[in-house]
Structures are given as structure tokens and as C-alpha cells.
Chain A
Amino acid sequence: MGGPKKVSDKKIKAFIDLFDNHAAGAVKAIRDYHLAHEKLLTAGLIKATHSGKLLLSVQDLTKSYKVGRQKVEALKGVSLDVYEGEFIALTGSSGSGKSTLLQLMGGLDKPTSGSVTVDGVVLTKMSDRKLSEFRGRTIGFVFQFFYLQPFLKLGRNLEVAGMFARSKRHDRKDRISELATAVSLADRVDHLPKELSGGQMQRAAIARALFNNPKIILADEPTGNLDSVNSQAIIELFEKIRTEFGTTIVIVTHDKEIARRADREIQLRDGVIV
């Protein structure tokens, strides 16, 4: 072997080429490759992407909310640092607080106490308007159920994030074709979501999350609604994104495969990191 980095690049290049042309075949090939070179690949990737610059910092985060009359403490003091270019898996059983943590990290919700700092900005102190703006430019969200607009064509669906960021229409057009190509949906741009498969929809949702070129992608169970082949493809896609765009990725998942392939796996139990 000529060193982990070289192997890794080669593999990724091959993967991308294959994936673009024939997704299922590519996925199978890559999985086989993984099984053989697992350690090398993982180590190589960490080295390749981790810049050492702190991107997201969570300090003593607590979150409690009421469900009926009962007060539920979803997070009980979580602290976590995420570095630029990292690929992190948040795992834990249902109700462990992993989704809540992800939402607080994205500024979708306000913590009961503690702070979230992203790219040097303290989210917990921002106004709703500023926060929305910041989120639009810095953070990309991916959800389990895709949430594409059923009556908008795929191209428009990708564009929505750009609409809220007021990016120029011309730039948006370029970005649509760029992203559609990156997620292998170039020939589906004029299709409605109902004409796409689940895997295609999730790839579209990822492309939408990438639209404003965010520094970090927060994905909540992105493969939870997909079969194993499509799940695999999605994981590969995240890896590709991290590699190509240097995007930091935090994924909430039950999928052991993802957890294993992440740079770090952070496990939560009963609202605390274990």
C-alpha cells in the first residue's frame, strides 16, 4: 500500500465516478472495498478532513420541556466541540436526547440553559430574525422524511434555501445544476418529488441542505426511512460531501454502519454524553 491518503483519494475518485453513472453498482463496489480496507480508509479520512479548527461548541446544555403534565429533561448538561471538517455520529436509544441536541445545535430550538456557539457566533443570544439568516447561510438540515415541496419540481425544491437567502437567480440556476449533478439527479431536475424514489428524495434533500454552501450539515436520521442500499448510498454521499466541500457533518443515527464510519461517535443516554 502506498499510504492511506493515496488509497483514500483513489477510492473516493473511483466511487464518485461510479456513483454518478451507476449508483447501485458503485455502492456495492465501495462496500466491498470498505470491508477490505476499513481501517485504512477511516484513518485516512480523519487525516484528510480534520482541520483542527473549532466550528461548533456546546457548553453545559440543558433542555427540558413539558409533555402533558410531566416535565421531561431531554438534556442534562451536555458539552461538546465539533471541529471543521469532522464527521460526527450522534447515537443513542430513543429518548436519549440526541435529536434535541441536534436541534439546539442548529438553533431550531432554545436551550433551557447553556450555550451553542457556531462559527464564533453564540446562537442562544441571537434574535429570531438573525438566527434564521445565520441558519440559512451556515447550517444545512437534512431530515428523516425529506420534506420536499410536493408541488415544486426538484430544481425548485433545491432552490428554496437560496430563495430565503436572497441569492441571485442566475447563481441559483448554476447551483441547481451543480448540486443535482453532485447528487446524481441531473436528469430529474424537472420532476416532481412524487416521481422520485425515497433514496432520490433524500439525495435531493441533501442537495437542498447544501444549497447555500453551509459550513455544517445537521442530519436527523437521514437513513431512517430508507432501505439498506439507499442508506448506503446516502452515507457515501455524506462522505463525498465532506471530502469535496469540506463540510462538517453531524448525523443523528441509529445506524451502526454510519456510526462506525464517522470520525467520532458520540453516544447519549438519558440526556448526557456517555
Chain B
Amino acid sequence: MIRLSDTLILALAKLRTRRVRTAITVTTAGLLFGGMIATLSVVQGTIKSVEEFSQAGFGSRYIVSGTPMPANNGLMQDKQVQARAVQINDGIIADKVKQAKKMGATYDAKSEPQPVTSYDDQEPYLNMMHPAAKQAIEEFRDKYPSAGEKEFRALALQYDAKAFYSSANIAPRDGNLIQMKDGKEEFDSRKQQELDNADSRSGRMPIGDSLVLSPDQLTNPFMAPGHKTEFEKNIIPVVLPYSIVQELLKLEPLAKTASASERVERLKYVREHAKDASIDVCYRNTASQEKIASIEVQRRVASQVKSDKNTPAPSLLYGYPATDTCGDAITTKDSRSTTEKQAMEKQQQFERLFNKNVDPAQRKLKLQVVGVAPDAPGSGAQSSSQPVAAAMDIVTLLASSSLYGQWAVPDGLFKKTANYDELRNLLQTRSLAGFAESMFQTYYAEFDSADQARAFIKEQTCSFDSSECTKRSPFMLTSFGSNSIALEDAKHAITKGFQIVASIVAAIAVIVMSGTIGRVIADGRRETAVFRAIGAKRLDIASIYSVYTLLLALRVLIFATVLGLGVAYVVDILYQKEATVQAQLAFGVDNNNAFHLFTPWSGEIVIVLGLIVITSLVAMLFPLLRNIRRNPINDMRDE
């Protein structure tokens, strides 16, 4: 057989024929494969960077959270529960009438709200806030308890869960927690309403609904440097979302046009100073809230009284406490007669009898920031107007690590608070009336692999509309902390997508290349005949064209690699800074790692390079077989 070096000489000569056509082919195939390489380089580079950054947050931990579903979703319309609520209510009313008579207290049974309400044609429904309704529901829950930690563990163990945690919403059983903006209470109800509205517009929940007592294992990734570890009385440690800490540090949110370095500086600043941020919170029980609210009413009445001399002035008046104390209302005037005082005392005794907390209680609390978690993905708090933002939002959504906007109270740290037991008694797990305690409880199971976690979610999650699943698996399951499962899925999807795109590109490339190779081989028929005449074997001809094809493939390969990696590199240069900031925000880290949108080498890129060679050889195969099978004489006769 002909020597390889000689084959090379002849193949190179062949490569000089049909130059325009060859150039077009190399360009077209190069663009196709180059595009693939560019895309792969960016995608793989991004994934690699995401994985690197992931080490900072929950990273490659596969945690599934489970929220128990109530045993019955239709309690409000449940006739039995309604009937029981009415029965309880009737009993209470009868009792109240009896007691009022006995104590000489004023009581109007007709003014009592009913536990079951119905509007015109609608089905009657349970008034969940009504004490009798609450009791009826609790009885029902006791009879049909929601699934708890035991059941969750049993389910998760089927998928080889390796660790378990649980968290629970905590809130005052009676009353509310109100943020003291700038350390001050707002007593004007309209102004307070405006503040609340502004909060709800920005998607923020009231503090009372936000606090989640979390195990340290879930909050540790987000602890701020140098945070406090010992807490005085009434101080509760919290890990807060980034944008809230920024606000607490009195920093205006950066403009959407802010540069990458500005935002990274801000992130560093926020994390460094997070330990100094805190929120003053005023806890008031219902009685305390009502007393404060009554002041506004009293003042309104008083202004009317002034203009109407016939109406006697009220005998008991309250005034607001100092705004920064969270204190009880101050009695400003008490000209009640002894009879009045006795009647009021009697009334209070009567109400105490029926569980109503008539003694105002309040306490000033401080939420001390000990950590910063990234904002909930998709909250828009970290988006920028840069073109890469949309793509990075997807990456963020896919790869960030966060507590989903929770105000997490690290369990272990909270225990270091001087009056922990007292506070824990105040902030209880059960919060909203009528809802099962378990609904505010979240269980977590940690797995070794994405596959286990995915299977657990897929096979055991219960959706809201399925009443059947409550029996089988009564938990709503989602991946928690990081979307490492989604990232895994994305990788799978990318691999699949890559296969499809690669097949299409390869098919197009085969057509384009076989056009040119076929042409060159057809052009070379007579030459083949001459070569055969002067002693070339079929194998010699085949090896010349094979080397020719490989040289062509090499050109495509070089062009595609230079183009693909070049484009990816340019993308990296253009957007790396921005992406780094986005990633730092998403993962809440201020390390010095750059987020690269480029990887020079990956298994997939090697596959593309191999594909170029294979595609070229496939493109060559048919024309070549036809060529060497021909009788050389036929091609000479064509002349």
C-alpha cells in the first residue's frame, strides 16, 4: 500500500481543488459545529461554575422538605364540624347567660358572632376565627391527626434518607408582632395600614407569619461573619433575606443600572455589616392592641363631645406610651365612680371566665441579624437590566441556595438567649387559628443523591387537589435549600438536548460535506483511473480520499474549535463580571471566585470534535465506494 506520507502529498493536492466550494463547506460545517462548541462551552462552563459556587451554600446537598397536608381539606364546609361548632357555641352562650346573671355582668347573647355563617344561596361555611369553630376543628384534628414526623421519616427512609431535620413557624398565640420602624411604633392606624400595604406590595409577609424556627444545619451556610453568639433578654437571632438586611443597614437599593462591581461591593458590605443589623419589634397581645386602638376612638369621640355639650365626657381616658418603649397605654384620666369601677371589674371577671385575655401584655423584642440568606429566587430583588440578567435569572433559579425568603431563627443560637424559655413560651408553634399545628411544621430529609431525592418527591408528593394522597403520603414535598436536584435534571436535559442538536447538526453537516466531498471525488474519477493505470490499488485510492477527508475534517475542526471557543470566550469576557455578581448574590457568598461562562474543555466538546471526524468520514463513504468500484476504463471513455 502507498506510504502515509505519499498519501498526504496526494490528499493535500486534492484539497487544493474546488477551493471555493471547500471554503464554503468548511465555513458552513464550521459554523454548525462551532455554534455547538460555543453553546456547550458556555453551558458546561456555567454548570461548572454553578457547582463551584454551590460549595458555598447548600450546594450539592439534596434536601427535600415535606409539609404535612391536613387530614381533610373541606373542613369549612364539613357539616359535622359545623354542627359541632354550633353545639359548642350554644353551650358557651348558655353558660355565659347563666354566669352573667349570677355575676350581674352585662351580656347580650345576640351580639355574639355565630360560628357558622351563610350568605343567601351559598352553602353555610365555618367561621374559622370563631372560638367555637376553633375548638370543633381541634377536636376533629385530634380525632384524625395529620401525619407527623414519624410518618415523614418512615417514608423518606424508603429512599435511604441519611439525615432528618424539622422546622416550624413560630408566632405569638395571642396578639401580634409589629415591626418598630426606626425603633418607633406607629400608633396611627391609617399610617400603620399604609406601612403594611407597602410591605405586602413588596411581597413581604408580616413578621408574625415569617419567623421559622430552623435547625442550625439549615441556617449554617448563611451565617454572617462575626455574628453574635450570646444574646441578652428579649433578643432573638435571625437569618434574614439579603434585601431586608440591606434595608436595615439603611442602604438604598442599588439602581438597576448599577455596575457589577458596585453590586459586589454592596454584597460584601451587607454581609460584613449584617451582624450590626437588628429590628425592633413590639409584641402586644390582643388586649394590649385593643387598648391602644381604643385611644384613637376615644379621641375621636372626645372631639365630638366638645362640640356637643349635652354628652358627658368619658370618665376613663388612655394616652399613647412613648413610641420607642412598646409599653402599655397610659391612663390619662380616671374619674370613674366606685360603682363604675366595680361594674367594669365585674365585667372583666366575667370575660376572664370565658378565656378572654383581658389583661394587656406587651414586650419589646429585638430580632438580631446573625446571617444573610439570598433573596428568594425569582423575587426580582437582585435582577439587573443587563442583557445577561434574564439568562442569569434562570441560572439563579436553578442553582441558587436560599431559605426562600424565610426569617429563619437558628434553633441552637436562639437557645443562647438569656430568657429563651420565656420567649419560646410567647412564640409558639401553633399560630393561626383554625389551622392545624402540623401545617406550620416542615420536615426535611437529606439524601446522598439527586436520584433518591427526585424519586422521593416524584413518588410521594401529595398535591393539593388530591384527596386520595392524604392516605398514601400526606406530605407536600419539594426540594429545599438549593435546586441541586433541578440542576441535576438540567444537566440531564442538556445532555439529551445536546444529543438531539448534535444529531441534527451532524445530519446537516453530512449533507453539506458529502456534497463537496462527493464533487471532489467525482471530479477525480479520471484521475483515479489514471492512478489505477499506473499501479494504484483500490485501497490506495481509498486511503488518499480518506486522508483528504480527514484533512478537510481537520480544517472544519480547527475552524469550529477556534470559532466556538472564541465566541464562548468573548461571551465570558463580556458577561463574566455580571455573572459573578449574580452568582455571588444568588449564593450569598463574597468569595473571590469568578463565575466563568466558559470552559475550554469538556467531554461533550471532545464528542463534537469526534463527531466532526465521523461526520466527514460518513460524508465520504458513499461517493468513495462508488468511485473505487468503478471500472477505470469507463472514466477514460467518458473523455
- A-side residues, CB < 8 A to B, are 103, 106, 108-109, 128-129, 132-133, 135-137, 140-141, 143-145, 147, 149-152, 156, 160-161, 163-166, 208-209, 211-212
Contacts and interface: CB of A to CB of B under 8 A. Distances in A.
Contact of A152 (B2, B9, B532): B9
A110 to B, nearest CB: 8
A140 B534 contact: yes
Contact of B536 (A164, A209, A211): A164
Contact of B13 (A132, A152, A166): A152
The 7 closest A-B pairs by CB, nearest first: A136-B535, A163-B6, A164-B535, A151-B13, A147-B530, A151-B16, A132-B537
A145 B527 contact: no
Interface in B613-639: 631-633, 636, 639
B533 A135 contact: yes
19 contacts: A103-B636, A108-B636, A128-B537, A132-B535, A132-B537, A136-B536, A140-B534, A141-B533, A147-B530, A149-B10, A149-B527, A151-B13, A152-B9, A161-B534, A161-B535, A163-B9, A164-B531, A164-B540, A166-B2
A166 B631 CA distance: 23
Residue of B3, B14, B533, B632 with most chain A CB atoms under a 10 A cut-off: B533
A133 B535 contact: yes
B153 interface: no
Contacts of B531: 160, 164
Contacts of A147: 526-527, 530
Contacts of A106: 533
Nearest to A100: B633
B349 interface: no
Interface string B491-534: 00000000000000000000000000000000000110011111
B10 A103 contact: no
A141 B534 contact: yes
A160 B538 contact: no
Chain B facing A: main interface SS: helix
Interface of B: 1-3, 6, 9-10, 13-14, 16-17, 526-527, 530-540, 631-633, 636, 639
Contact of A166 (B3, B16, B527): B3
Contacts of B532: 108, 132
A138 to B, nearest CB: 9
A157 to B, nearest CB: 10
Contacts of B13: 149, 151-152, 156
Given A145-B639, A151-B17, A160-B531, A129 B537 contact: yes
A208 to B, nearest CB: 7
Contacts of A150: 17
Contacts of A161: 534-535
A102 B587 CA distance: 82
B527 A164 contact: no
A183 B523 CA distance: 29
A134 to B, nearest CB: 8
A109 B538 CA distance: 14
Nearest to A208: B534
Contacts of B534: 135-136, 140-141, 160-161, 164, 208-209, 211
Contact of A133 (B526, B533, B537, B633): B537
A191 to B, nearest CB: 15
A142 B532 CA distance: 13
B200 to A, nearest CB: 78
Nearest to B534: A161
Residue of B6, B539, B540, B631 with most chain A CB atoms under a 10 A cut-off: B6
A249 to B, nearest CB: 16
A254 to B, nearest CB: 15
B522 to A, nearest CB: 16
Residue of B527, B534, B536 with most chain A CB atoms under a 10 A cut-off: B534
A129 B539 CA distance: 9
B326 to A, nearest CB: 93
Nearest to A147: B530
Contacts of B3: 163, 166
A34 B114 CA distance: 139
B631 to A, nearest CB: 6
B10 A128 contact: no
Contact of B9 (A141, A156, A212): A156
Contacts of A156: 9, 13
Given A149-B527, A166-B2, 9 more contacts: A132-B535, A137-B535, A141-B533, A141-B534, A143-B530, A151-B17, A152-B9, A161-B535, A164-B2
A136 B531 CA distance: 9
A132 B539 CA distance: 11
A143 B17 contact: no
Contacts of B631: 109
Contacts of B527: 147, 149
Contacts of A143: 530, 533, 636
A94 B247 CA distance: 101
Given A152-B9, A164-B540, A108 B533 contact: yes
A152 B540 CA distance: 18
Contacts of B633: 103, 108-109
Given A149-B527, A151-B16, A165 B632 contact: no
B538 A128 contact: yes
A106 B527 CA distance: 17
A266 B13 CA distance: 40
Contacts of A144: 639
A150 B17 CA distance: 9
Contacts of A149: 10, 13, 527
Contacts of B537: 128-129, 132-133, 164
A106 B532 CA distance: 11
Nearest to B535: A136
Contacts of B17: 150-151
A33 B542 CA distance: 50
B8 to A, nearest CB: 11
A133 B632 CA distance: 15
A145 B537 CA distance: 22
A164 B631 CA distance: 18
A147 to B, nearest CB: 4
A163 B533 contact: no
Contacts of A109: 631, 633
Contacts of A166: 1-3
A173 B224 CA distance: 79
A152 B14 CA distance: 9
A133 B530 CA distance: 14
A144 B534 CA distance: 15
A150 B520 CA distance: 14
Contacts of A208: 534
B530 A108 contact: no
Nearest to A149: B13
Contacts of A140: 534
B545 to A, nearest CB: 14
Nearest to A157: B13
Contacts of A128: 537-538
Nearest to B637: A99
A93 to B, nearest CB: 17
Contacts of A135: 533-535
Contacts of A133: 535, 537
B210 to A, nearest CB: 78
Nearest to B631: A109
A109 B535 CA distance: 14
Contacts of B9: 152, 156, 163
Nearest to B15: A151
Contacts of B538: 128-129, 132
Contacts of A136: 534-536
A152 B539 CA distance: 21
A147 B533 CA distance: 11
A161 B536 CA distance: 8
Contacts of B639: 144-145
A166 B4 CA distance: 11
Nearest to A131: B537
Nearest to A150: B17
Nearest to B540: A164
